[in-house]
Amino acid sequence: MKSFLGLASLLLALSACSSAPSYREDAEFLDARTTCYEFESGSGVFVVTPKLQARVMTAGIDTESLSLGFVNRDAVASPDLAGAFANYGGAERFWIGPESGPFAFFFAPGAPHERELWRVPPGLNEGEFRVTGQDEKRIRMERDLELRNIAGGEFSMHVTREVDVPFPAEVRAALGGEALANHWTAFRSRTTVVNTGPRAWTREQGLPCIWVLGMFRPGDSAWVIAPFRTDTFDPDGGPAVRSDYFGAVPSDRFRLGTNFAIFRADAEQVGKIGVLRNRAVDRIAAWDHETRMFTLIMFSPVDRSAPYMSEHWGTTLADPFYGDVVNAYNHGGPEPFFELETSSPALALGPGGSYTHVSMTIHARIDDDFTLARVLRSALGIGHDEFAALSGIR
């Protein structure tokens, strides 16, 4: 439901990460500057901002606990719309991919794929979604977009973002039946893209994909956990999890286990990992050993017969239509965040055709290692002992 959050200062209990704001502090800051819709979920809350491109900005397992999404206060207070990226932050935002490659949306036609030339398309960088439906459990937001890729392909689309509160039974099922009473919150998004143009979207001019990204607070003992399939291989014979997007990630920051990879989420060094279609599973997670916060993202089932757009940088890709399903990015500062990212298949839509990408984000505080072991096994299919050994957090 819509909540006009009070602006008066509150005496807040210090969290384990005392330098980071509480959910209430971030929510009050946002409400003073934009329209906010706050929803109760589990023991906690989350806040949605239609004017900031329909982002879920942040969440908390209760109102006074740590703000789990990254809120970039400088950008919210004074956005640089002429710059490369008005980075408001947000625990979930909508973009269109691919970012790079011969059909990139983030480079001007003919531009070399260099980081200083990377720019977010204006349609994704600014402009609000209009609210077309809302009650205590959900909000629906819509807008029209016009985008152009590096190959000159033009894409007219209507985008709907519906964010709702999952049922507690759905959250328990996702965590393998663990109740985790009074220590969790969750939100789910359904992002639908409709081709509103006169032509079909085809490979010749490139295909867009729905790209959903969440920015979260990093930690010195925080790790991304990316599970992967072991019963199949990628056509190019590459590793199960790629780690060479912005140069190779050092071995102290990225490690492969039996059926999962771990990747540091400390916002100390730029790096990115990704799992391609044949190896991908429909989830990715993060664990912060200091705050005992487990974050799980589950998304639309992987379509193993569909093309996916490659997010590797450069224009000479072996196959730009065999690419990424799930990714994680670690920022190198000064903004403190890491990202968990999921992508839809490439959208080969005829006029009026549509596709919906579903994503559910769960935050749960897990206070003991016995419960953590059960959640890791049930939610991700991985062993606690192997994860602890690789991450060094015994």
Cα 334 from Cα 276, distance rounded (Å): 29
Does 68 map to a domain?
no
Task: Write down the pLDDT at residue 393.
Answer: 84
Q: Which stretches of the chain score pLDDT less than 50?
A: 1-18
Asked if residue 241 lies in contact with residue 273, where contact means CB atoms within 8 angstroms, the answer is yes
Return the pLDDT at 249.
97
Work out how many domains the chain is built from and give that number: 1
Closest CA to 124 of 73, 52, 214: 52
Q: What is the pLDDT of residue 170?
A: 94
pLDDT of residue 178: 64
Output b/e per residue, 118-152; b: 16+ Cβ within 10 A: bebbebbbeeebebeebeeebbbbbbebebebbee
What residue type is assigned to position 252 of the chain? D
Range of the domain at 305: 83-391
196 part of a folded domain: yes
Is there a domain that residue 361 lies in? Answer: yes
241 inside domain: yes
Q: Which amino acid, one-letter code, is at 259?
A: N
Q: What is the CATH number of the domain that holds 230?
A: 2.70.98
Residue 33 burial by Cβ neighbours in a 10 Å radius (0-12, 13-18, 19+): middle
For residue 341, is it within any domain? Answer: yes
Helix, strand, coil percentages, rounded to 5, for the chain? 15, 35, 50
Distances (CA, A) of 128 to 50, 71, 119, 193: 6, 17, 19, 16
Q: Is residue 284 part of a domain?
A: yes
List, in sequence order, every residue forming a beta bridge with 359; answer none if it has no partner.
Answer: 189, 299
Residue 64 lies in a domain: no
Looking at residue 20, its pLDDT comes to 86
Task: Give the pLDDT confidence of 227-268 residue by residue, as tens digits.
Answer: 999 999 999 999 999 999 988 999 999 999 999 999 999 999
Q: 78: burial class by Cβ within 10 Å (0-12, 13-18, 19+)?
A: exposed
Contact 125, 80 (CB under 8 A): no
Q: What is the pLDDT of residues 302-327, one digit of tens each?
A: 999 999 999 988 777 789 999 999 99
